């Protein structure tokens, strides 16, 4: 080629390179919002077959996104499940287990008001990992991974508003009788400060909604991408709903509670749209573990799945999971791929262009190929623990139960056991 042709080719290459840089700078770093229900069963939503429940905003997410039918919690109970979500690891790796044998272990499977431990500070959370990428990270709602030097701000997250543990772990709001002296009223924290005690459950979800909206506004004002975990307390017992939502559902109070949570989800989604963030935000909805069906009409529905919260039967660990992202996830799709709550951390880090921690095992997989419908999940095995004990293994389309792991004890039995243990154990003298 002649000199003029070479110059023309060089200009073409430079122009193409400039266009590439310009396009890259125009692409926004995606945001992630995770809506996490508490004790919501596989069969509690109309999207998963419930005949009378109403949840129009979750239904809208389902219509605009993908429904997973084989999505698993990291554990069948609150604290270890949430540990798996924020670390991407099997809870036994991070120490969110009890060393007590069954059935005494039922008293120590989650963090209680008197617990001195928490998620170890050596663990790398989503909040920790996103800091170098200039993300704003927040948790609005229930934490349940420790409150003595182990609140979300102590574990890498920029902002926290919510309960340190479940609403049944305090008197009030739990209707305690003779054991109220060992459990103070459940507090509400803003970062590391108590702003309300005891919690007013009738206004709690409304407060979460407002806090979520304000968190998004601050991130937009700071020109930062964000990760927001909206961790609702509904539908854990004792059930509650704002008076405006009472007697709205033919299911009774649990249906009312789901409608209130669904309304909050709709408000957050509307705010994302109003801020022009809908197409820049991956939204995920799921639950921490299965429904606690021992609570009868207050305990939720696991559909046709055997077992319940606290067990490694499918009813304790298989959860509803819906994801939406306009332009990325095809609307109205269904996936039967096996995926896990532990996949959330690797997925978020992949979107943020942040490498996985290299000094530890991460059990989760990037599930964006599943959500896009272009590949499988990468999970050949999923290991299901109850505390330190490996109880079941999922392998492809098979599941082996190695040990029958019993359900959580009824709350009255738990409370009596805790009171007895604190009164008589040398560990608390």
Strand ranges in 280-406 using DSSP code E only, listed in sequence order:
281-287, 318-324, 333-340, 381-386, 389-395, 398-401
Predicted local distance difference test score (pLDDT) of residue 75: 94
Mean pLDDT of 88-104: 82
**Which tens digit of pLDDT belongs to each residue from 326-341?**
999 999 999 999 999 9
Q: What percentage of the chain exceeds 90 in pLDDT?
A: 76
Cα separation, 235 vs 238, in Å, equals: 8
225 neighbors 135 (Cβ within 8 angstroms): yes
List the catalytic residue out of 50, 78, 147, 236: 78
Q: What are phi and psi of 381, to 5 degrees?
A: -130, 150
Strands across the sheet containing 281-287: 193-196, 188-190, 159-162, 136-141, 226-231, 31-37, 281-287, 318-324, 66-72, 333-340
Is 78 designated active site?
yes
pLDDT tops 80 at residue 361 = yes
Residue 196: strand, helix, or coil: strand
Strand ranges in 288-427 using DSSP code E only, listed in sequence order:
318-324, 333-340, 381-386, 389-395, 398-401
Strand-pairing partners, residue 229, are 34, 139
pLDDT tops 50 at residue 22 = no
List the catalytic residue out of 144, 147, 236, 379: 144
Count of Cβ atoms closer than 10 Å to residue 263 Cβ: 19
Count of Cβ atoms closer than 10 Å to residue 188 Cβ: 18
Predicted local distance difference test score (pLDDT) of residue 175: 73
Helices (H), 116-234: 126-130, 201-221
Cα separation, 320 vs 289, in Å, equals: 10
Least confident interval from 26-40, 100-114, 354-368: 100-114
pTM of the model: 0.89
Q: What angle do CA 150, 154, 160 make, to 5 degrees?
A: 95
Element containing residue 18 per DSSP (H, E): helix 3-26
Average pLDDT of the chain is: 88
Cα separation, 171 vs 182, in Å, equals: 9
Cα separation, 429 vs 411, in Å, equals: 24
Strand ranges in 327-375 using DSSP code E only, listed in sequence order:
333-340
**Which tens digit of pLDDT belongs to each residue from 195-233?**
999 999 999 999 999 999 999 999 999 999 999 999 999
Token duo for residue 80: 């270890």
Confidence of residue 172 (pLDDT cuts 50, 70, 90): confident
Is 405 designated active site?
no
200 vs 17 pLDDT, higher one: 200
Predicted local distance difference test score (pLDDT) of residue 424: 41
Backbone dihedral region of 166: left (phi > 0), alpha (psi from -120 to 50 degrees) or beta? Answer: beta
Cα separation, 238 vs 427, in Å, equals: 29
**Which tens digit of pLDDT belongs to each residue from 262-302?**
999 999 999 999 999 999 999 999 999 999 999 999 999 99
Q: How many residues appear in the chain?
A: 429
CA dihedral (201, 206, 209, 213) positive or negative:
negative
Confidence of residue 429 (pLDDT cuts 50, 70, 90): very low
Strand-pairing partners, residue 384, are 392
> DSSP secondary-structure letter at 291?
-
């Amino acid at each position: 080629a002649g000199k003029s042709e070479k110059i023309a080719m060089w200009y073409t290459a430079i122009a193409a390179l400039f266009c590439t840089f310009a396009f890259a700078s125009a692409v926004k770093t995606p945001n992630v919002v995770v809506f996490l229900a508490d004790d919501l069963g596989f069969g509690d939503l109309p999207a998963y077959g419930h005949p009378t429940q109403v949840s129009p905003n979750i239904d809208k997410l389902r219509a605009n996104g993908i429904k997973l039918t084989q999505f698993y919690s990291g554990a069948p109970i609150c604290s270890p499940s949430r540990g798996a979500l924020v670390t991407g690891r099997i809870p036994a790796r991070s120490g969110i287990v009890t060393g007590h044998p069954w059935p005494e272990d039922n008293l120590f499977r989650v963090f209680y008001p008197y617990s001195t431990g928490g998620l170890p500070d050596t663990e790398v959370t989503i909040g920790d990992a996103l800091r170098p990428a200039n993300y704003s990270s927040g948790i609005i709602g229930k934490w349940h991974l420790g409150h003595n030097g182990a609140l979300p701000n102590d574990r890498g997250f920029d902002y926290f508003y919510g309960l340190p543990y479940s609403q049944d772990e305090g008197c009030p709001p739990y209707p305690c009788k003779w054991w109220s002296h060992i459990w103070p009223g459940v507090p509400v924290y803003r970062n590391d400060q108590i702003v309300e005690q005891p919690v007013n459950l009738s206004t709690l979800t409304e407060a979460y909604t407002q806090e979520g909206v304000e968190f998004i506004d601050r991130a937009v004002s700071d020109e930062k991408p964000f990760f927001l975990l909206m961790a609702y307390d509904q539908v854990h017992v004792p059930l509650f709903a704002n008076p405006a939502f009472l007697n709205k559902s033919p299911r009774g109070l649990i249906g009312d509670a789901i409608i209130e949570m669904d309304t909050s989800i709709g408000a957050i989604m509307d705010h994302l749209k109003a801020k022009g963030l809908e197409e820049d935000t991956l939204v995920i909805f799921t639950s921490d573990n299965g429904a606690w069906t021992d609570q009868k009409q207050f305990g939720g529905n696991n559909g046709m799945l055997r077992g319940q919260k606290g067990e490694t039967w499918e009813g304790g660990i298989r959860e509803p999971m819906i994801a939406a992202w306009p332009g990325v996830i095809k609307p109205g799709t269904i996936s039967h791929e096996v995926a896990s709550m532990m996949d959330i951390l690797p997925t978020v880090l992949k979107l943020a262009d942040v490498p996985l921690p290299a000094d530890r095992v991460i059990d989760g997989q990037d599930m964006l190929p599943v959500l896009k419908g272009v590949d499988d999940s990468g999970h050949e095995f999923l290991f299901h623990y109850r505390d330190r004990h490996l109880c079941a293994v999922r392998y492809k389309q098979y599941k082996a139960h190695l040990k029958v792991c019993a359900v959580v004890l009824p709350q009255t039995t738990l409370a009596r056991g805790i009171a007895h243990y604190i009164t008589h154990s040398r560990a608390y003298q």
